[in-house]
Structure 1
Amino acid sequence: MNTIEHKVVVITGGGGVLCSTMASQLAGLGAKVAILDLKKENAEQVAKAIRQKGGQAIGVEANVLDKKSLLAAHAEVNTQLGPCDILVNGAGGNHPKGTTSKPYFDPNDLESTEELTTFFDLDPEGIKFVFDLNFIGTLLPCQIFAQDMVTRQAGIIVNISSMNAFTPLTKIPAYSGAKAAISNFTQWLAVHFSKVGIRVNAMAPGFFLTEQNRRLLTEESGDLTARGNTIIDHTPMSRFGTPEDLLGTLEWLCGDGSAFVTGVTIPIDGGFSAFSGV
């Protein structure tokens, strides 16, 4: 039995590569999907593609860091599709100002004439941007859309963590810390909502090629960068993930097959988080 059919699904960051694929999958299962994105045209493009395949979808402009924007989006979703049954918090990302130039600190870098960002040069505003986008950008949509679930004592929230929440990656302390916060928040919210029929879980993708990280992991020629090679060497399945690799776990978490599962973060990373490097 398809337990997702006719459910209203809200996906933040829905204009991106990974979340648009998730939106299309859930719409294909009969869900009514609201694609929320900071850029209205991106959201509507995804929704249009779903409608052309016979699915139900709307594109909605929303800023996950602005409560007024989310309230407006909530009103639009309720009017056009109905109250939210499933919330997927897909909005997130990193920022160069929260990233060091090198994986390891070298005292000589303090005297270097190169344009380097050491730990001591990290911009607090860049760190704050990354934490806000990932953590606050997950918390606020939960505050707005989970109110629909509380009134009916039923609902599902799926957050997007990362495998670097388990073990932080070099160079990106802000992003690693922010995703660890999402895993922790997932546990907290799962307990908090446990008496009102709302399940809260998270998916932790490993390395997936997206527009955000493509230049970090691949050269113009398509060959892997040094960091890309390191990642593949430490991924037992020896490849990057594809958006489709997320769909089985997503469908399971959104359906009744996971009815007794709440508060977990599931790695989808080809074994990266399980590998010691030896």
Structure 2
Amino acid sequence: MSILSKFSLKGKVIVVTGGTGVLGKAFVKALAEAGAKLCLIGRNKEKLDERVRLVETLGAEALPLIADVLDEDAIRSARDRILDKWKKIDGLVNAAGGNIPGATIGPEESIFDNKISETLKAIELNLHGTIIPTMVFGEVIARQKSGSIINISSLAASRPITRVLGYTVAKHGIDGFTKWMATELALRYSNKIRVNAIAPGVFLTEQNRTLLTNLDGSYTDRAHKFVQGTPFSRLGNPSELEGTLVYLLSEASAFVTGETIFVDGGFNSWSGV
């Protein structure tokens, strides 16, 4: 097999949760261009239909399914629909998540004024919203004895980032879950099953827009701090995640598992000096 063919996803069935978001759009585009058949899972029909049109424009197939990643029964139903249509699942991208406004501590607030219920919702969305699809779709991958699962970690799992407690706790959990699943699936089922995570740097999305931009679109002090702490001296572009995603889902990464890959312009590596 040539090195270029190892990066191909032609004919592979890839499930993407959270594909209706800003980063999710880049993921969907990259996977369609790589030749994958895509099952897109989300809660917003209009946005799902928009992603399907994008996939079809790129010459690939898409199956949109409305489901909440926190609803185990709905995810199991989605799994059955995929198997009815394509008979297999080769990969899973757990892109559903992000912070929620009620779980963000304001700069003038005490951390003890934080709404505990909202913090727990952020943990549930990010961590439980990764565990549930992994357990449901991962069972199919285990039976097949081959496949790749990609979770979405964060800089917040390696460096303390202020004001986002629930998100931070969840992303630490995702890193641990990634290593645990990578180990168990390989030891119990097959050395052709891989589980890895991508830790994006700071990208402007709908979830973090109010934290990073002012009403006039200019950067907040928080955004400037991120830029100043990044050797590349800028925020990331969602398209810059595409290569890492395709690599981790493809045969090009056949001996890579249990890893978290940072795509962050050097933020995690730099001491600031």
Fold similarity call, TM over 0.5: yes
Matches for 1:8-87 after TM superposition, within 5 Å = 8-87=13-92
Quote how far apart the aligned CAs of 1:40 are: 2.4
| Matched length | 265
Partner amino acid for 1:272?
Answer: F
Partner amino acid for 1:177?
Answer: V
Q: 2:257 aligns with which of 247, 253, 262?
A: 262
Matching residue of 2:151 = 159
Overall identity of the aligned pairs, in %: 40
Structure-2-length-normalised TM-score: 0.93
Matches for 1:133-152 after TM superposition, within 5 Å = 133-152=125-144
Quote how far apart the aligned CAs of 1:76 are: 1.8
Can you list the C-alpha shifts for 1:207-246, whole angstroms capped at 9, x where unaligned? 0011221222122333211111111111110111111110
Larger radius of gyration: 1
Unaligned runs of 5+ in 1: 103-115
Unaligned runs of 5+ in 2: none
Matching residue of 1:101 = 106
Larger RCO (CA under 8 A, 6+ residues apart): 2
Quote how far apart the aligned CAs of 1:98 are: 2.2
Matching residue of 1:231 = 226
Quote how far apart the aligned CAs of 1:29 are: 1.3
Matching residue of 1:199 = 194
Matches for 1:100-119 after TM superposition, within 5 Å = 100-102=105-107, 116-119=108-111
Matching residue of 1:128 = 120
Distance in 1 (CA, whole Å) between partners of 2:204 and 2:104 is: 19
RMSD: 1.3
Partner amino acid for 1:92?
Answer: G
Distance in 1 (CA, whole Å) between partners of 2:204 and 2:183 is: 33
Matched, 1:7 2:9: no
Structure-1-length-normalised TM-score: 0.92
Which range moves more in the overlay, 145-154 or 7-16? 145-154
Distance in 1 (CA, whole Å) between partners of 2:227 and 2:20 is: 27
Give the 4+ runs in structure 1 shifted more than 6 A.
none
